[in-house]
Each structure stands twice: as C-alpha cells, then as structure tokens.
Amino acid sequence: MKFSFYIAKRYLFTKKSKNVVNIISYISLFGVAVGTAALIIVMSVFNGFESLVLDMYNSFDPHLKITASQGKTFSIPNINSTLSDNKEIENYSFILEEKVLIENNGTEIIAEIKGVDSNYSKLVDVNEIVKLGDYFEEDLYRNKDVLVLGASIRYRLSADINNIFSQLTITSPRRDAKYIKDANDLVQSVFMPIGVFSVQSEYDNQYVLAPLNRVQLMLDRVNEASSVEINILDSNKMLLIKEEIQNILGEDYVVKTRLEHHDFLYKLLNSEKLAVFIILTFILIIASFNIISSLSMLIIDKEKDIKTFWNLGSSKKQIRNIFFTKGVLSVMLGSLIGLCIGVGFAVLQDKFGFIGMQGGFVVDVYPIELQIKDVVIVEITVLIIGIIASYYPSKILTSKLIKTHTL
C-alpha cells in the first residue's frame, strides 16, 4: 500500500506540468473544486433564505397553538388553570379570531381580526413588528375600540393612523346567525387605527390586531377564545410539551406545534434544497467523466511504467492501486480546494455582505448560513463520486495492459 501511495503521489505532483495528460488532470481537479464549492455555496444560500423566511414567520407565530376540536371557540376558564400550572410554559395568550369586512371611505376588504390579551406582547416583540404608530398595550387604549393594521391592509384601505376622524367600519356575522341572509345577520362596529405592523406579506395582508375584550364584545363571545398561543422555555422540548398538554386537555382540544402549522412551508423549503442538491450532484457526476478521461490517459501514458512494475514483481492489485489512489487523491485535493473556496465565500458573505440583492427585497444582501452537516454531506458525496470514477479505469485498463504484456 505504501508503494502504491508513493507512486500515486509522484504522478499527482509531477514536475512535468506541461504534459498534456497532466493539464487534463488539473482541469478535472479544477472541475471537482468548482463543483464542491458550488454545492457548499448554494446550500448555504438556501439555508440563509430558509432561516430568513422562518424568522419572519416565527416572529408572529408561537411555539404551540391550542384550538377547539369542535366549534370555533372554547371557554377560557376551562384551560387557564391547566396552562398556568405548567412550569415549562414561558408565556401564553388567549386569542379570538374572526373573518370580518373592513370599510374605509368606500373601500372594502376582507381580513382576519385578531383579538389579543395583555400577555400577547410577551409572546411577540411588538416593538419590533409595529412600524408606525402605537400598540394598544398602554392603559390609554386597552379598553377602547382600536386596531393595529397589517401594512398591506393599511395601504389598501388608505387609512390614517391615530386620527379620530378616520374610523374604520368593521362588519362581522352575528353569533346566532347560521347563514347570512340580510343585514340583520350582521353586526357593525367602529374602530380607530392607531398603528401599523409588518411581519411578512402573508400576515400583513391578512391580519388586524385589536384588544381581546373589545373583540369579544363585538362578537358576543365574552370569556371565550378561538385559540391559545404558547411560548415555551425550551423550544427543543416542543414535541414533548405538546404531547403532555394534549394528554391533559383530552380530545376536546387540538394542540399543534409551529412546524405543524406551517407543514407545507417546511416541506417546500426542504424539497427545494434537496432538488438543487440533486441537480448540482448530477452536474458533478458529469464533471467526474473528466476524472475517468484523465486517469485513462495517464494509465495509457504510463504503459512503460506498468510494464516495469510488473517485471519487477509488483502484483496486479498494487499496480491497480497506484492509479486508483492517484484518482482518489486528485478528488480529495479538488474537494479540499472547493471546500476552502465555498466556506471562505460563505464566511465573507455572512460577515461583509459584498453581494447585494436587487428589487427591494426584505434584506439588502444575500442571506447565507453555513451548516457543518451540509459541508460533511457535500464532501462525502464528492468522495463517493470520485471513488467510483477512479475505480473503472484503474481496474479495467490496468488489467488489459498487464494482460497484453504477459502474452
């Protein structure tokens, strides 16, 4: 083995750099390096976008959410004591949601009014998401009919903020109305917009926030909620605590994690990343044909050496291992260079953000997040491809040449 490795290393780092075989060998090595770097960079960019998207959702979404298994709402006192006794829960907030029609100066849109209690600001960083105006956490607004609008809703309604003369009319269905046949099945209320929040376009275009007690009065659902949003102390225990709460509450309630609420989004992000990885791996497989070609040409070029090794008593396995080892060393060197390029690019982009984004995206530069597991997967993939690509010419061609010289 030492003999094969020594000769393979000599072939790899030969001083005859202008030899055509060596030039082709360097080109194949360059192809492996570029492929490795591309895989690491693209997967890191996907990680960056995934983290960015999830952070935007997570800034508005709780770790756990409890809803009634039947019907729209449930009684708050029924589960309040259960949640307050759980030491793993950091904070929780009762929520009452309903689809409503919002009108301002003849412009009408359908949105979701989300009534939140005083604990909601402990779950969501309202100072971060409220971009304009105020939030109703202060006593000044707590018992008044006020709204914090999603940014897109505010734009579509052309609503003024903190203007007593700019009131929004909210139309909601009566509690006892099974079907909406006429105006008697609807209830109208007037709310004043006091702020604008912005999280993510889907939420900005869907939700308006209001004090829970005012929404309960409007919908005639005092002491009722449609859900409970919960943040826990240790997010790694999310599934465990979910099962614990579900067992205590029983079949009358449904407990879901953040991942389950956005199951499609998580699957979509992971499937896109997998698809890109497979595509780039196929490109790398195509590039590996350069390894086969360069190794085949090297074996033919070293025909005299093979004859000499054979006459000196080297076995078929030793001669085969020379070229197999040379091919694997080339792949390892190429992947190492690609690793340095890919990791270096990811670190520099993360630190300095020298590649910017166009089109007014939510961030100014391409987000990037380097994950060790991706680097390991890429290196293993490249090594496996290199081993397979090196095996064929080293086994088939050397055997043929040795057979020719023994005849």
Which of 258, 276, 302 finishes a domain?
258
| Domain match, 75 and 26 both | no
User: What pLDDT is attached to residue 5?
Assistant: 73
| Domain match, 340 and 365 both | yes
The beta-carbon contacts of 341-344 under 8 Å, at least 24 apart in sequence, are: 341/33, 341/36, 341/37, 342/36, 342/37, 342/38, 342/39, 342/40, 342/41, 342/44, 342/375, 342/378, 343/40, 343/370, 343/375
> Across all residues in the chain, what is the average pLDDT?
83
The widest CA-to-CA distance across the chain, in whole angstroms, is 104
User: What pLDDT is attached to residue 207?
Assistant: 93
Please say if the pLDDT value at position 390 is more than 50.
yes
| Domain match, 95 and 229 both | yes
Which of 229, 258, 287 finishes a domain?
258
Instruction: Tell me how many domains the chain contains.
Output: 2
DSSP classification of residue 366 = -
Q: How large is the average pLDDT for residues 333-343?
A: 91
pLDDT band at residue 27, thresholds of 50, 70 and 90? confident
| Domain match, 50 and 148 both | no
| Domain match, 122 and 19 both | no
| Domain match, 84 and 214 both | yes
Please say if the pLDDT value at position 66 is more than 80.
yes
Q: How much of the chain, in percent, has pLDDT values that exceed 70?
A: 91
Task: State which residues form the domain around 102.
Answer: 64-258
Q: How large is the average pLDDT for residues 108-123?
A: 91
**3-state helix vs strand vs coil in the chain, percent to 5:** 55, 20, 25
Which of 206, 235, 258 finishes a domain?
258
Please say if the pLDDT value at position 343 is more than 80.
yes
Please say if the pLDDT value at position 16 is more than 60.
no
| Domain match, 45 and 78 both | no
CB atoms within 10 A of CB 16: 7
Please say if the pLDDT value at position 301 is more than 80.
no
| Domain match, 85 and 231 both | yes
Least confident span in 44-48, 170-174, 389-393: 389-393
User: pTM (2 decimals)?
Assistant: 0.69
Pairing of strands 207-211, 107-116: parallel
| Domain match, 137 and 120 both | yes
Q: Token pair of 353, please?
A: 């953000």
